[in-house]
Amino acid sequence: MARERLTLRDTSRFKDPAGLTWERYVALQARERERYLAERAALPAEALAFRTVSPRYLDRAVEQFANNYFPEEAATRYIATAAANAPFEALKTCCLFQLADEQRHLEMDRDVFERAGIPERDWLPAWESPGTTCRFFRHLLELEDTIEILVKGNFVAEGAAGPGTFAVLADGAEARGDVFSAVNHRARVRDETRHISFARVLVRALIDDDPSNLDVIQRWQDESLQLFVEVARGGERREWWEGFLASYYKIALPLGLTPSALPI
């Protein structure tokens, strides 16, 4: 089946809500990195070596680490595709700034895996095991259209995972003695908020440009949520999933999107 495509006819409707230029972005990225490194440096050495957590925590956390690392890896690739195929300059610039953010997140998550002493051969099997967001991200990697990637990846997935689930993950990790993961999640969420904001402006612009675009966006949203169904299976990820949906409602409902294909 041919994929549906959306075009923003009046591209002046889209403006980067963060108002970033290359110069401002580089300064912001440098500040963020400095802040992250200072926070990490303030952590006790035992926490950075995962000696403050129980062996049981580490066993179970491998799947969570994979659920952080591989989506960031996917993001560096799908956002690069989105930048390469961007239909206009202002959108391309937002994608390129995001690419640099995602690369940094990817490196943070690689650091977690390595410091936790988890051999690299175990990473991919953990990601491919049931209950991860693997299916959704593999779908995103097959897409080529910038607008579809941004609606599904930024608006739906990050829109939900950003504010809600990362807070849940940070608090959960901290409560189990994994303060390093908590610092990472809190650093990541500051960038993800920016990625969500520009996707939200894009969705708004598409609906203002042509109200019938809402139907396609709705279908993309439903398709994305369906791919997340697997994550909701089993009680273990209940908290994650509830955080995900709660945040998602906050960004989708004010724009007229209804959760019509909710898996649970």
218's CB contacts (< 8 A; 6+ apart) are 257, 258, 260
Alpha carbons 145 and 83: distance in angstroms, whole number: 10
User: Which window, 13-21, 55-63, 97-105, 207-215, contacts Fe ion (CB under 5 A)?
Assistant: 97-105
> Least distance from C-beta 216 to Fe ion, angstroms?
22
Q: Tokens in use for 167? A: 């807070």
User: Which window, 12-20, 26-34, 101-109, 134-142, contacts Fe ion (CB under 5 A)?
Assistant: 101-109
Q: Which helix (H) or strand (E) is 196 found in, with range?
A: helix 179-209
* Selection from 168, 12, 19, 183 nearest residue 108 by Cα: 183
- By beta-carbon proximity to Fe ion, the closer residue of 102 and 222 is 102
Looking at beta carbons, which residue is closest to Fe ion?
A: 105
> Least distance from C-beta 149 to Fe ion, angstroms?
12
Residue 105 near Fe ion by CB under 5 A: yes
- By beta-carbon proximity to Fe ion, the closer residue of 97 and 220 is 97
Alpha carbons 46 and 91: distance in angstroms, whole number: 43
| Total chain residues near Fe ion (CB under 5 A) | 5
* Selection from 263, 250, 20 nearest residue 156 by Cα: 250
- By beta-carbon proximity to Fe ion, the closer residue of 102 and 148 is 102
> Least distance from C-beta 69 to Fe ion, angstroms?
10
User: Which window, 43-51, 96-104, 208-216, 234-242, contacts Fe ion (CB under 5 A)?
Assistant: 96-104
- By beta-carbon proximity to Fe ion, the closer residue of 53 and 227 is 227
- By beta-carbon proximity to Fe ion, the closer residue of 162 and 172 is 162
User: Which window, 57-65, 68-76, 107-115, 217-225, contacts Fe ion (CB under 5 A)?
Assistant: 68-76
User: Which window, 37-45, 64-72, 171-179, 249-257, contacts Fe ion (CB under 5 A)?
Assistant: 64-72
Exactly one of 8, 70, 102, 152 binds Fe ion (CB under 5 A); that residue is 102
- By beta-carbon proximity to Fe ion, the closer residue of 53 and 112 is 112
Q: Please report, as residue ranges, which positions from 183 to 212 form the binding site for Fe ion (by CB under 5 A).
A: 192, 195
> Is 96 exposed, middle or buried, given 0-12, 13-18 or 19+ CB atoms closer than 10 A?
middle
Handedness of CA 28, 252, 256, 98 (dihedral sign): positive
Alpha carbons 103 and 100: distance in angstroms, whole number: 5
- By beta-carbon proximity to Fe ion, the closer residue of 123 and 155 is 155
- The radius of gyration of the chain from alpha carbons, rounded to an integer in Å, stands at 18
* Selection from 215, 99, 208, 190 nearest residue 150 by Cα: 99
Say which DSSP state 260 is in: T
Contact footprint for Fe ion (CB under 5 A): 72, 102, 105, 192, 195
